[in-house]
Amino acid sequence: MFTSNPFAELAAFLPAIAMQVYIVLMIVAVAVGTLLDMIHKNSGKFFAEQRKKSKAAATKKLSGAESASIAVKTLAYEVATAGEFCNMQRRISHILMFYGFIFYLVTTIVMIFGYPTHATPTPAFIPALWNLGVIMILIGGYWFFFFLRVNVAQDGQPVFRLVLADLFIVTLLGSVTFAFVWELVQTTGNLAATKIAFGLYILFTTLLFGSVRWSKLAHMFYKPVVAFQRRLDEASGSSSLPTPSTRNELS
Amino acid sequence: MPTFVYMSKCDGCGECVDICPSDIMHIDPTHRRAYNIEPNFCWECYSCVKACPQNAIDVRGYAEFAPLGHIVRVLREEAKGCISWKIKFRDGREKNFESPIRTTPWGSIKSPADYAAPSQDAFETQELAHEPETLNIDQLPELTPLKIKDGVI
Amino acid sequence: MGFFTRRKTVFVDSDILVIGGGMAGCGATYEARYWGRDLNVVCVEKANIERSGAVAQGLYAINTYMGMQWDENQPEDHVRYARNDLMGLVREDLGYDIARHVDSSVHKFEEWGLPMMRDPETGQYQREGKWQIMIHGESYKPIVAEAARKAATKVYNRIMVTHLLMDETKPNRVAGAVGFNVRTGDFYVFRAKAVIVAAGGASHIYKPRSAGEGMGRTWYAPWSSASAYALPILVGAKMMQMENRIVLTRFKDGYGPVGAYFLHLKTYTENAYGDEYESNWQDHTRELVGDYVDRLPVPTCLRNHALLQEIRAGRGPIRMVTKEAFQDPHKETVGWENFLGMTIGQAVVWASQNIDPKHTNPELTTSEPYVMGSHATCSGAWASGPEDCAPADYQWGYNRMMTVDGLFGAGDTIGGAAHKFSSGSFAEGRIAAKAAVNYVNDLGRDQPKVSEAEYEALKKTVFQPMENYEVGRNEIVAGTVSPSYLLPIQGLQRLEQIMDEYVGGIGSNYTTNEPLLTRGLELLEMLKEDLDHLGAEDLHQLQRAWELNHRVVASESVTHHTMFRKETRWPGYYYRADHPKLDDTDWHCFTLSRYDRESGSWNLETAPVHHIID
């Protein structure tokens, strides 16, 4: 079950082209949503001004090579290992969701475009990776939702009182949970139940990618840029923070 | 001089919510990041600023009397036992300071229960724990009759 | 409460309950463990003890240190100093008791890791003044909190205590307290054999100079919500000297400290035209207070008085002359670090206005009044004194026990022991704790019992503001104006205005009289009735609501005391225009009050001031 392509089964009630168009629409939705968000907040102008201020305050000019090396460090640490999180539990939960989502997304696209029907048999490792991704997202996501959200863990809010900041995690969990449910239901052969589960999967997925303008999804673009800028500031001396002390640790 | 939180630096860890003596650092429902909900109850104690692992909190002096453009930033390095300050005036002048904050490792204080238990007699005296040794004099002072003035004015 | 949540009641049992985790509370917690090895010692704090209380941002000096090990001072010298500063009216037994113990607490602080400055020549602690030593105290509170955490059975953070509970088996005996969790909304019932109140004194009972954001920059922490007074008052404990509010002369707007400037940097004040002014007012002040003005050091209130007179004469602003001292780089560093280690806001003000004390002499100002027990003032609960030196009528039980059995106090809570500051508050916490341990041990089988009827009724009372808001909110579309409930900030602003206009705030030049005080009490009475209609939108607002309730109780006490003392004992703190002079014939005494919660009436009386030190 976990090694067979669930999207290939859709041919029972959906032409392959439908899913392919849907994927393209979702990519466009994310791009448009992010762009609308930036236009609405005029954040493009804000970031440009910040860069100017930072350059003006710099005490040291960085070469192209130095900036490139900082970009690589940002990718390797902040992006790849979720290095900004000081709380280890949040860091692990984020890594699970981040890599889980990458596995899930890539394999979804590969299966829908590369192996759309049974005519093109799917190598077992691809759906296996898809399921691994789904499970990683579910573990990291539900752990985050019930135990790690700061407004619940630190600020005393009840778990089920949802706020706008929850839009991303709720639609993500809804989407991936119903992806999993649909895959399981589909193996029973019950067409009606499969259509319902699949419908819910598509509903939450559409909400997830369609609500980018209002949700925290766009932070996946902003955060690495900001982390890169912060490293640049530290390296070029334009940070307003005091320089760290040269003392040794207390012993 | 109330605090504010930088959107791009805050990752919503909640340390500031936990430490604020005034209970005014809370989580914004749209971004799930911290912000100051009641600047008019902010003492500018900098507890949140110092506690933030991302240095995401800063201060802007109270609007009634503090013109814009100043910076007072801090780096508290607990492990090294010191704190550093950078002050930038509105006109650009800068002052930097560094001070010690502790001479012993964090967590190293000996529990009072780890000292020998006081004798039954000790309960009857005026001496507190570790006295008279920690007074660094021979015995706890008391008012001898010579020192006591009788009566009321 | 929501569909999936229920308000829990949590019971916490202890032998000793310490209410408040500030300097006094941490001292009490530490000492309670030393003497009560097997006792259950609980400390409860409405914030987080790591940074709670007035020492949140740190301190740059320890203002009460004898230095007995170097023959610098003796405890009786400190009593004379405090007595002089308070115009003769202090509990000399309590003051002596703290002064003889305080050095050992300071030495423990150093042992625990507080960086002390040392005189390069003598190797002794660096003196700022006769009683003060200089420290790098940014982490003073975290260090002391660590000691308390090591000692406590458990520390409860983010629980606001709203009421004490009385014993249902014996009259006039405390049995515990109730409160609520500021994060979860759970109701807490603390059952204890002894209670030590070490909460905050009263800031924000008078209108501050800044009314917008700037109202946060009070001199005394804005979270000192007078719980130290309200909790004992409401169970009938006698209070003393609640009229003895303090007004501070500090740097303008930021209220940054001036102690290190005067004492260590040797700066001095001048009026707007560059003239010395204090000596101008000597004769005038002697008319009011007699030879108290000639005693040295000049009492704090009288220095305020001279400054206020000079400003009224139109020769303000008063400035601190710093240009000379700041030419010395060491002194300049001390001057700035003095703020960074205890009142960072002042550094912010100067940075924002381009004030560099090397080139500008900064302005001073007087604050609004505060009521507290640990500074150049000593309002608070009337407590039994040390067994070996308290006069008979100052001693009715265990040391630092109030007139309610089992109810102890320390720090800003306890009246009469002026000039204890941070180290003295910590020492007083220790004193109260040892006494409380003895009290608990002596109880034997005769243990207090809380009344279920009382705490169930209080549960309703505690959360009433939230119900008021929820229900009343249905009446209006939106916004802050409701005809049926009052937001806590609105109630606070009314309180501050009443006190400012009628009980000697800044707006009335610190002056009041009997007609004003009478009217003030009438308005406070109406405010008290309106407190039944406070509306709290969430748990944070509920905390603000209870802070307001405590502040109003304390303000009522302050007003009654101010009315009762028919003299002006501390010109510069406040003036009774109808009794403008100091009167040692009739008023060289303490004022005591007791609130009776059955009848709601206040009873005021005097108590003699025994001078046990010459």
Say whether both C338 and C395 belong to one domain.
no
Using an 8 Å CB-CB cutoff, list chain A residues near C181: 156
Picking from A154, A155, A158, the nearest residue to C5 by CB comes out as A158
Q: Confidence class of residue B146 from pLDDT cuts 50, 70 and 90?
A: low
Asked, for residue B149, whether it belongs to a domain, the answer is no
Measured CA angle at C290 (ends C284, C294), to 5 deg = 85
The mean pLDDT of chain A is: 92
Tell the residue number behind the tokens 């560099």, with chain if given: C356
Check residues A86 and C54 and name the one with the higher pLDDT. Answer: C54
**Last residue in a domain, options C411, C443, C475:** C443
Check residues A162 and C614 and name the one with the higher pLDDT. Answer: A162
Q: How far is A147 from chain C (nearest CA, A)?
A: 15
Please give the share of chain A, as a percent, with pLDDT higher than 70. Answer: 100
Q: Which domain holds residue C299?
A: 249-366
For the four alpha carbons of C383, C386, C392 and C396, in that order, the dihedral sign comes to: positive
Q: Count up the domains in chain C and report the number.
A: 3
Say whether both C496 and C565 belong to one domain.
yes
A156 and chain C in contact, CB less than 8 A: yes
For position C270, which CATH number holds? 3.90.700.10
A160 and chain C in contact, CB less than 8 A: yes
Q: Residue B152: its pLDDT value, please?
A: 41
Asked, for residue C600, whether it belongs to a domain, the answer is no
Integer Cα distance of C373 and A96 in angstroms = 55
Say whether both C116 and C161 belong to one domain.
yes
Q: How far is B15 from chain A (nearest CA, A)?
A: 8
A94-145 pLDDT per residue, tens = 999 999 999 999 999 999 999 988 888 999 999 999 999 999 999 999 999 9
Say whether both C436 and C502 belong to one domain.
no
Which chain A residue shows the shortest CA-CA distance from B81? Answer: A250
Structure tokens at C563: 């009315």
Q: Residue A63: its pLDDT value, please?
A: 87
Burial per residue of C71-81, b for 16 or more beta-carbon CB atoms within 10 angstroms, e otherwise: ebbbbbebbbb
Say whether both C280 and C355 belong to one domain.
yes
DSSP H or E run through C419: none
For position B50, which CATH number holds? 3.30.70.20
Tell the residue number behind the tokens 């109003």, with chain if given: C552
Secondary structure (DSSP) of A146-198: III-HHHHTT---TT---GGGHHHHHHHHHHHHHHHHHHHHTTT-HHHHHHHH
For the four alpha carbons of C152, C153, C157 and C163, in that order, the dihedral sign comes to: negative
Whether the CB-CB separation of C230 and B56 falls below 8 Å is answered with no
Q: Which chains touch B (3 or more CB pairs under 8 A)?
A: A, C
Residue A174 has pLDDT above 50, yes or no: yes
Asked, for residue B136, whether it belongs to a domain, the answer is no
Integer Cα distance of A220 and A79 in angstroms = 9
The number of C-beta contacts closer than 8 angstroms across A and B is: 94
Q: Out of B6, B41, B43, B89, which one is annotated catalytic?
A: B43
Q: Count up the domains in chain B and report the number.
A: 1
Asked, for residue C602, whether it belongs to a domain, the answer is no
Instruction: Give ipTM to 2 decimals.
Output: 0.96
Q: Residue A221: its pLDDT value, please?
A: 81
Say whether both C165 and C92 belong to one domain.
yes
Whether the CB-CB separation of C594 and C602 falls below 8 Å is answered with yes
Distance of CA C241 to the CA centre of its chain: 13
Picking from A87, A149, A222, the nearest residue to B32 by CB comes out as A149
Asked, for residue B134, whether it belongs to a domain, the answer is no
The number of C-beta contacts closer than 8 angstroms across B and C is: 284
Using an 8 Å CB-CB cutoff, list chain A residues near C184: 156
Say whether both C362 and C374 belong to one domain.
no
A159 and chain C in contact, CB less than 8 A: yes
User: What CA dihedral angle connects A219, A223, A225 and A226, to 10 degrees?
Assistant: 120
The stretches in chain C having pLDDT less than 50 are none
Tell the residue number behind the tokens 């390095």, with chain if given: B77
What pairing do the DSSP bridges indicate for beta strands C407-409 and C174-181?
Answer: unpaired
Quick check: C76 and B143 CB within 8 A? yes
- Most confidently modeled of A68-72, A83-87, C403-407? C403-407
Cβ-Cβ contacts under 8 Å for C155 (sequence gap 6 or more): C21, C29, C42, C43, C44, C45, C49, C148, C149
Structure tokens at A37: 């968000």
What one-character DSSP code corresponds to residue C42?
Answer: E
Integer Cα distance of C33 and C81 in angstroms = 33
Say whether both C272 and C229 belong to one domain.
no
Tell the residue number behind the tokens 């040392």, with chain if given: C118
Q: Residue A60: its pLDDT value, please?
A: 86
Integer Cα distance of B7 and B14 in angstroms = 14
Asked, for residue B56, whether it belongs to a domain, the answer is yes
Q: Within 13 Å and on the Cβ side, how many CA atoms surround B41?
A: 23
Nearest CA to C203 out of B40, B24, B58 is that of B40
Quick check: B93 and C356 CB within 8 A? yes
Q: Confidence class of residue B147 from pLDDT cuts 50, 70 and 90?
A: low
Q: How far is CA B65 from CA B60, C316, C492, in A?
A: 11, 18, 22
Integer Cα distance of B82 and B85 in angstroms = 10
Using an 8 Å CB-CB cutoff, list chain A residues near B31: 165, 216
The pTM for the full model equals 0.96
C148 and chain A in contact, CB less than 8 A: no
> Phi-psi region for residue A195, left (φ > 0), alpha (ψ -120 to 50) or beta?
alpha
Say whether both C63 and C103 belong to one domain.
yes
Structure tokens at C143: 């260090």
Tell the residue number behind the tokens 């100051």, with chain if given: B36
Quick check: A165 and B98 CB within 8 A? no
What part of C 471-530 touches B (C-beta under 8 Å)? 489
Q: Residue C254, exposed/middle/buried by CB under 10 A (0-12, 13-18, 19+)?
A: buried
Q: How far is A155 from chain C (nearest CA, A)?
A: 6
Structure tokens at C122: 């003598």
For position C430, which CATH number holds? 3.50.50.60
Q: Residue C2: its pLDDT value, please?
A: 53
Q: Residue B150: its pLDDT value, please?
A: 57
Say whether both C144 and C216 belong to one domain.
yes
What pairing do the DSSP bridges indicate for beta strands C133-137 and C59-62?
Answer: antiparallel
Instruction: Name the H helices within C172-314.
Output: 227-234, 259-263, 282-289, 300-312
Cβ-Cβ contacts under 8 Å for A191 (sequence gap 6 or more): A12, A13
Quick check: C4 and A160 CB within 8 A? yes
Using an 8 Å CB-CB cutoff, list chain C residues near B142: 100, 388-389
Which chain A residue shows the shortest CA-CA distance from B103? Answer: A250
A244 and chain C in contact, CB less than 8 A: no
Q: Residue C15: its pLDDT value, please?
A: 98
Asked, for residue C418, whether it belongs to a domain, the answer is yes
Residue B153 has pLDDT above 50, yes or no: no
Using an 8 Å CB-CB cutoff, list chain B residues near C57: 43-47
Q: Which domain holds residue B68?
A: 3-100
Whether the CB-CB separation of C383 and C409 falls below 8 Å is answered with yes
Integer Cα distance of C401 and C385 in angstroms = 8
Whether the CB-CB separation of C160 and C543 falls below 8 Å is answered with yes
Using an 8 Å CB-CB cutoff, list chain B residues near C136: 99-101
Helices (H) and strands (E) in chain A, counts: 9, 0
Q: How far is A89 from chain B (nearest CA, A)?
A: 11
Which chain C residue shows the shortest CA-CA distance from A162? Answer: C2
Residue A239 has pLDDT above 60, yes or no: yes
For the four alpha carbons of C504, C510, C513 and C516, in that order, the dihedral sign comes to: negative
For position C496, which CATH number holds? 1.20.58.100
Please say if B43 is a catalytic residue.
Answer: yes
The mean pLDDT of chain C is: 97
Say whether both C219 and C320 belong to one domain.
no
Say whether both C95 and C220 belong to one domain.
yes
Q: Residue C286: its pLDDT value, please?
A: 97
